Structure 1
Amino acid sequence: MTGAALTGPLERAHLVGIGGAGMSGIARILLARGNTVSGSDAKEARAFLTLRAQGARVAVGQSAANLDLLPGGPTAVVVSTAIKESNPELVEARRRGLPVLHRSQALAELMAGHRVACIAGTHGKTSTTSMLTVALQHCRLDPSFAIGGDLNESGANAHHGTGGVFVAEADESDGSFLAFSPAVAVVTNVEADHLDHHGTVEAYVSVFDAFLDRIEPGGALVACADDPGAAALAERAAARGVRVRRYGRLATGAGDATLLGYRPVDGGGLATVVLAGQEFELGVAVPGEHMAGNALAALLAGLELGAPLAGLGEGIAAFGGVRRRFEFKGTAAGVRVYDDYAHHPTEVDAQLRAVRPAAQGGRVLVVFQPHMYSRTATFATEFGTALGLADEVVVLDVFGAREEPLPGVSGALVADAVALPAERVHYEPGFDKVPALVAGLAAAGDLVLTMGAGDVTMLGPEVLAALERRETA
């Protein structure tokens, strides 16, 4: 049964870093299936309130004693790639001889017995996974899902469903998606990233080839025909005998979804699509042609899972977005403030192109926080080019995430590369001065976008407060 509690190692699971998007999702599903869960994180997280309400025992701060949060202790400890071998809970787990599972291995255990769809790619994974999930829910299939962001519809990043389908965002950053065996694999794009782990572009590309080998016999690859990396992967998949369905403007096969046109409409967009000889319009509630592409990927994946075309289309049109994906934060002094997770040059470029129509003639002001020193060093020039699509740019210092600082690498590298006049580019390493700076730059009718994968998301409310203070001064 797909709904039974897991026996074996995950019967009583302790999750190190339980507040993260991936780990909290696994905890949610384990709890919903009747398993016992404990966990810890370095600081209080948004997910803790819900997890505790579901019965998890969660500690703030990490120590060996946390492995005794559950009566009898855990039967396994779950970690992510970000957890270092020196972590006291991991050290204690190894001392006790407990099974230590990577997050992907635990998720693969939860997938057992389901028909699985995995969404992979350098960009667009979370949005595409979310669209597919909402579309399947609209078809009343009640899928289980695990996503790297919170759905606006439910506020959740994971769910144990009653249906036989499991939809998951598949992470290529550390190759951990090779733990999965999907019936449907979606690859939105393949573009150099995460070289801190993979080392070379060739190694990064090769992990997607290995992912092809994980597709179940009789399964399918859904790939973007417009992205050179994904298109090349699709050709290699077809040569191996994998059934391939493509989407995009360059998709021309009988089972493909061809994008004939796209136009912005009411903060979203309308895509003209040809599928199986039928031309129709597909509404997408979130802006940008790249989101229309994600919608087509979700549509094809949903069809492969047996959902009806009409229901999938209605569900995609109703999709309300994902937290931190062009998420509206509020309006003050006539200035609209949004937040976005884009942290790769291609993502920044695509989002700023999508934002321009939404600005409705006003200026676009971006507050950008580079994410990881290695990515900043590799792509500083490309970030500068993409940010040049804005009207005014504020660059923060690098959010290091799991990395130690690199000599000579800071946000200044990105600021210096922005293709705008110098007076429209501002480098502010810290947060303190940014809200007042942005409030001073923005005028009524402008759109402000905080952008990056780090803690830049906290600035949106502060910018709104600064704008309100300016208005009442």
Structure 2
Amino acid sequence: MQRKVKRIHFVGIGGIGMSGIAEVLLNLGYGISGSDVQVSDTTKRLQQLGAKVSVGHAAENIGNADVVVTSTAVKTDNPEVVEAHEKNVPVIPRAEMLAELLKMKFSVAVSGSHGKTTTTSMVSTILARGGLDPTMVIGGKLASIGSNARLGDGDIIVAEADESDGSFLKLSPTIAVITNIDREHLDYYPGIDEIKEAFLKFANIVPFYGCVVMCNDNEHIREIAGSIKRRVITYGIEHPSDYTARNIRFLEAKTVYQLFYHEEKLGDVELFVPGLFNVYNSMAAAAVGRELALDMETVKRGLQSFSGVQRRLEIKGRSRGITVVDDYGHHPTEIMATLAAARQMWKGRLIVIFQPHRFTRTQALFDEFTRSFGDADVLLLNDIYPASETPIPGINSAALWAAIKENGHPHVEYIGQAQNTVDFLLANTKPGDTVITLGAGSVYKIGEVFLEQLDSRGEKK
């Protein structure tokens, strides 16, 4: 690619998936430009690294680009896409450019309906701890490096594989990880059978000398396991697996468990990120580390040092005895796992602000959402974040509020707008409470504003 392509333009460069690829390519010496609808910390960082970033989409933004990369959200009538076609400049999806990066090194691609960002980050941390200096392309900001991407000098690349639009099938990793399979992205997939088929194809893309690391406790993974034609490494707790976690203990500040490979005890693992789901994520990461010939002590040190990913049970701050936390969870499975972990971490009331993400997801998983908030003492519903979708009649947060209330939740309120939510929190929270903003849209801003207004009432405690 380097001989033919010198300048690459990204439409939607501020997106978490696009920005990571752009940053790695910048550090490889490519000329990078891009556009997005608004300025963000991500676009500012890319500008500081040397990218030319335009706010808003316009035909002239693509300049003399040799190729234009688009995110899933970009429509075919985008003026930059139209201009590229008129100039006969190739327009490719994000996954196709990621595939080119993966071809440059030995590649590990982490897929799954849930947990892939954290698992990708854990794998990257373990490999870095082992001196392998991997290149990383992650769907979230890794706390230890303050970014979602890094160009390493080693010969391994670790990347997150996004199944949302099927484009992860353009990748050809040497090691493929499948954390789980669930009913998700039903705006693209007709149903669970098509989702399973996509993950099966992804597993069988792996070359004959590679392997597939997958969770044996997930029923949909077990259903496709017999059709995978590559070497498989399994992990799990409830079903017989190659790697198993035993004697799991959730302590106040950490999780401890014993990791076994078949019947061989490999060691005691300490995690400083909460939740049973992170035990699973860490087992996947440990399996990859050992597959890459790292010793167990290195794996343990890597997991012990892992400090989390932005927007994954991220503590935003504390003020006047109240803790404010943010999490990206927007699917019923993620919500239940996140709130269960929060219940283990914090002993006071859990006040949850949930902003549903997409009308199509809310419609497809409506019944599941009504049963997802049992660990929330107080649930505040904001209006649905559309993510460029057109509203669906009858699918709204008021309807979700009524259904959750009918299901017996003791305290659920439909608040609607962000400022109304902040006002409610200021009037109804007390020391010892934990406020959690939950969702993939803009809900995190509520926690930030709430903290600012709490701080203005007095010094932080």
User: 2:72 maps to what in 1?
Assistant: 81
Partner of 2:342, secondary structure, is: helix
Report the CA distance between 1:468 and its aligned residue: 3.8
Deviations 1:366-403 (A, max 9, x none): 00000010110111221121112211000111101131
2:2 alignment counterpart: 6
Higher mean C-alpha deviation, range 126-135 or range 378-387: 378-387
Which of 138, 142, 146 aligns to 1:151? It is 142
Contact 1:152 1:320 survives alignment (8 Å): yes
2:56 corresponds to: 61
- Per-residue CA distance 1:260-280 (angstroms, 9 max, x = gap): 132212333112221253322
Q: Is residue 2:261 matched to residue 1:275?
A: yes
Q: 2:127 & 2:329 partners in 1: Cα distance?
A: 26
- Report the 3-state secondary structure (helix = DSSP H, G, I; strand = E; otherwise coil) of the residue aligned with 1:49: helix
Equivalences for 1:52-451 in 2 at 5 Å? 52-68=47-63, 73-237=64-228, 240=229, 242-253=230-241, 256-279=242-265, 280-359=267-346, 361-418=347-404, 424-451=411-438
Within 2, Cα distance between the matches of 1:6 and 1:193?
36
Contact preservation (8 Å) 1:257, 1:274: yes
1:250 positional shift:
3.0
Q: Distance in 1 between matches of 2:432 and 2:109?
A: 40
Amino acid at match of 2:271: V
| Superposed displacement of residue 422, structure 1 | 6.4
* Structure 1 residues 45 and 431, CA gap change in structure 2 (3 angstroms): same
Please list every run of 5 or more consecutive structure 2 residues that lacks an aligned counterpart in the other structure: none
SS at match of 1:196: coil
Report the Cα distance in structure 2 between the residues aligned to 1:57 and 1:76, rounded to whole angstroms. Answer: 15
Letter in 2 for 1:16: V
8 Å CA contact retained: 1:380, 1:413: no
**Whole-Å separation in 1 of the counterparts to 2:447 and 2:8:** 36
1:156-206 deviations in whole A, cap 9, x for unaligned?
101111111110100111011111111111111101111111122221221
SS of the equivalent of 1:14 reads strand
SS in 2 for 1:145: strand
* Paired residues of 2:126 and 2:302 also in contact (CA < 8 A): yes
> Secondary structure in 2 aligned to 1:409?
coil
**Using the alignment, how far apart are the partners of 1:178 and 1:248 within structure 2?**
25
Q: Does the aligned pair in 2 maintain the 1:223–1:231 contact within 8 Å?
A: no
The CA deviation string for residues 328-351 of structure 1, in whole angstroms up to 9 with x for no partner, is: 011112111100000100000001
Contact 1:384/1:416, CA 8 A, preserved across alignment: no
* 3-state DSSP of counterpart to 1:370: coil
The secondary structure found in structure 2 opposite 1:209 is: helix
Amino acid corresponding to residue 383 of structure 1 in structure 2: F
Secondary structure of 1:448 counterpart: strand
Q: Quick one: distance in 2 between partners of 1:215 and 1:149?
A: 25
Q: Distance in 2 between matches of 1:345 and 1:446?
A: 23
Contact 2:102 2:173 in 1 (8 A): no
Secondary structure of the residue aligned to 1:295 is: helix
Whole-angstrom distance in 1 between the partners of 2:340 and 2:245: 18
Residues 259, 422 of structure 1: alpha-carbon distance in 2 compared, 3 angstrom cutoff:
closer
- Show structure 1 runs of 5+ residues with no match: none
3-state SS of the aligned residue for 1:65?
helix
Aligned identity (percent) is 38
Cα shift at 1:424? 1.3
Tell me the CA shift for residue 299 of structure 1.
0.6
Task: Normalising by structure 1, report the TM-score.
Answer: 0.93
Match of 2:18 in 1: 23
| 2:129 and 2:301 in contact (8 A); partners too | yes
The answer to whether the 8 Å contact 1:221/1:234 transfers is no
- Check whether the contact 1:15–1:78 (CA below 8 A) recurs between aligned residues: yes
Secondary structure at the residue paired with 2:126? helix
In the alignment, the residues of structure 2 paired with residue 222 and residue 105 of structure 1 have an alpha-carbon distance, to the nearest angstrom, of: 23
- Shifted more, 429-438 versus 305-314: the winner is 305-314
Separation in 1, partners of 2:269, 2:409: 41
Q: Which residue identity does 2:191 align to in structure 1?
A: T
State the shift of 1:436 in Å. 1.8
Instruction: Give the Cα separation in 2 of the matches to 1:356 and 1:467.
Output: 23
Say whether the 8 Å CA contact 2:374–2:409 is kept in structure 1.
no
